[in-house]
Amino acid sequence: METDDKKGHFIESIIIKDIKDNKNKGKVLTRFPPEPNGYLHIGHAKSICLNFNMANKYNGKCNLRFDDSNPAKEKQIFIDSIKSTVNWLGFEFGTPLFASDYFEKLHDFAIELIKKGKAYVCSLNADDLRKYRGTLTEPGKNSPYRKRSIEENLNLFFRMKNGEFGEGEHTLRAKIDMKSPNINLRDPIIYRVKKASHPRTHDQWCIYPMYDFTHCLSDSLEGITHSLCSLEFEDHRPLYDWTLNELETPCHPQQIEFARLNINYTVLSKRKLQRLVEENHVQGWDDPRLPTLEGLKRRGYTPESIRNFCNIIGVSKKESRIDVTLLENCLRDDLNEKAPRVMAVLRPLKVTIENYPDNKEEELLAKNHPQREDMGTRTISFSKTIYVEQDDFMEDPPKKFFRLGPGREVRLRYAYLVTCTKVIKDESGNVKELICTYDPATKGGNTPDGRKVKGTIHWVNANDCIDAKVRLYDRLFKDENPERDKQDFIENLNPDSLEEIKSSKLEKSLINAEPENAYQFERLGYFCMDSKDATKDNPVFNRAVSLRDTWAKRSKK
């Protein structure tokens, strides 16, 4: 069940108070500002939900703004993916905005700073810049170029813009305080030469504004009221405020920081995810084992389950690591309500029902959902040869095993009670087929004489089932903290995170399956068709999540 933002949090309290005080004329305008240098992950979903939910709840608007001021790493494919992912999550953003649309204005702001004597062109090389910057314990030193005249600065900046200098020869720096305990205030670079083509402005510019300069000014130009960002920007807030105070800007948004989302058994950082992809530890950015939103979508996650997860975890200033089970439970809750039930056999074992007529086939009625009448019924066919799960048979079963064994009776879901009469093995002694008898009086699984049969197992009709590949996923990392004791997270990859079963058997109705429509394979979990590798002739299904959490049990062993 969805609970879109019922719980208040500290940011919501600030917004409520601002509206009450008529700050920003009572308006709320937020933004989600991704850099288009990779794909979005579930951490971004936290920020997306927060920004859009606050805007929607308080009659405001949330902009999707691409923070695209570093052309070296940014690409159009990332822009496209981010747009469609935000839509997929269920949020409307109107026309997307781009920091690069403000390049002209940002350039004018830089000139304004120079003219005020608050910015200068520095000609230290990268090494010297670092040396002069000082450390957390030592103050920095003034650059020898700090005293350049306004005219000289304007002239050099003009020539930087005209492409007269190579990368790293000169930078434009804000003139703040080299002795500030906050390193971000030690004359930060605000513009640098970069001879790279930009995905949108192409070769129009060869100087690009730095993130800190771009971000606050873009916020202000858009009239953002609350600029919500993760905690690592707390130390940048003084620079955010300094820039807006020094310049004649339309408004001064309030930056508010919150804790990033961390989840156990995974990593949430574009840089780390990129390494997993580039070193081929996973198969692409949308690998269903990744916490990218494209990966989760392909795996079978619904937007509702992700939004609900983001609401449950809430928003605070305290860093924590959320248990991935919580995310999985959000998906279970959602799919339990809406996924149609079907039958599929992952590891098939052939069963021949010896007393069932040879050429008979009958249609049995099955419910699409045990609780939801509105989801209706379907017919499934039954014949002399069926498949059951290998795991549902034991040759020498313990007492508490209520499934099939020699001489044991079991209920076939929606069909009949059958009793195993014979076990056929191959030359190496593996069970290859079971012979059973059925009781025609038990159609639909009833026992007219009231005899007790505890076990019910799923099955498919061998005559019309579909062959499919099924992919089962496990945690991508073995350790809940993949970087424990500063380990390289690659060392902690779980070698068994993907298991592909090549010849599963699915009930016929799944011929109409579409990716993104998840099903419950009864007793096995929630599955959806793969959006990339599946074809009509060669279906591939992904397990989004099992029916219950089995990890806790396993890791105790």
Q: Catalog residues that contact ligand ATP under the rule CB under 6 A.
A: 33-35, 43-44, 46-47, 229-230, 260-261, 268-271
Q: Which of 175, 192, 270, 471 is catalytic?
A: 270
Cβ 52 to ligand ATP shortest distance, Å:
12
Residue 327 or 335: the one with the smaller Cβ distance to ligand ATP is 327
Q: What is the DSSP letter of 231?
A: G
- Cα distances from 407 to residues 351, 398, 423, 436, in angstroms, run 14, 13, 10, 9
Cα(308)–Cα(302) distance, rounded to whole angstroms?
10
Could you tell me where the DSSP H helices lie in 196-291? 211-222, 237-246, 270-278
Cβ 194 to ligand ATP shortest distance, Å:
18
Exposed / middle / buried, residue 398 (Cβ in 10 Å: 0-12, 13-18, 19+)? exposed
State how far Cα 170 lies from the chain centre: 40
Cβ 256 to ligand ATP shortest distance, Å:
11
Cβ 35 to ligand ATP shortest distance, Å:
4
Cβ 125 to ligand ATP shortest distance, Å:
27
Residue 301 or 519: the one with the smaller Cβ distance to ligand ATP is 301
Per the listing, tokens 């010896």 go with 354
Q: In 3D, which of 214, 210, 176 has the Cα closest to residue 193?
A: 210
Residue 249 or 255: the one with the smaller Cβ distance to ligand ATP is 255
Q: Which of 2, 12, 35, 152 is catalytic?
A: 35
Q: Which of 73, 141, 195, 260 is catalytic?
A: 260
Residue 43 or 288: the one with the smaller Cβ distance to ligand ATP is 43
Question: For residue 531, what is the enclosing H or E element?
Answer: none
Give the CA-trace dihedral at 521, 286, 555, 454, to 10 degrees: 0
* Residues near 259 by beta carbon (within 8 Å), at least 6 away in sequence: 230, 231, 315, 316, 317, 318, 319, 320
Cβ 51 to ligand ATP shortest distance, Å:
8
Cβ 47 to ligand ATP shortest distance, Å:
4
Cα(221)–Cα(217) distance, rounded to whole angstroms?
6
Residue 79 or 524: the one with the smaller Cβ distance to ligand ATP is 79
Q: Is residue 551 a contact partner of residue 325, using CB atoms and an 8 Å limit?
A: yes
Report phi then psi at 460, rounded to 5. Answer: -135, 155
| Percent composition of the chain: helix, strand, coil (DSSP 3-state, to 5) | 35, 25, 45
Cβ 263 to ligand ATP shortest distance, Å:
9
Residue 47 or 542: the one with the smaller Cβ distance to ligand ATP is 47
DSSP-derived 3-state class of residue 320: coil
Residue 86 or 404: the one with the smaller Cβ distance to ligand ATP is 86
260 carries an active-site annotation: yes
Residue 45 or 434: the one with the smaller Cβ distance to ligand ATP is 45
Residue 75 or 260: the one with the smaller Cβ distance to ligand ATP is 260
DSSP-derived 3-state class of residue 257: strand
Tokens of 537: 């002739």
Cα(49)–Cα(47) distance, rounded to whole angstroms?
6
Give the CA-trace dihedral at 434, 415, 524, 298, to 10 degrees: 120
Cα(372)–Cα(337) distance, rounded to whole angstroms?
8
* Residues near 436 by beta carbon (within 8 Å), at least 6 away in sequence: 351, 352, 353, 354, 404, 418, 419, 420, 421
Tokens of 90: 């269920």
Cβ 211 to ligand ATP shortest distance, Å:
8
Could you tell me where the DSSP H helices lie in 103-256? 103-115, 126-133, 150-161, 211-222, 237-246
Cβ neighbour number for residue 254 with a 10 Å cutoff: 18
35 carries an active-site annotation: yes
What are the catalytic residues? 35, 260, 270
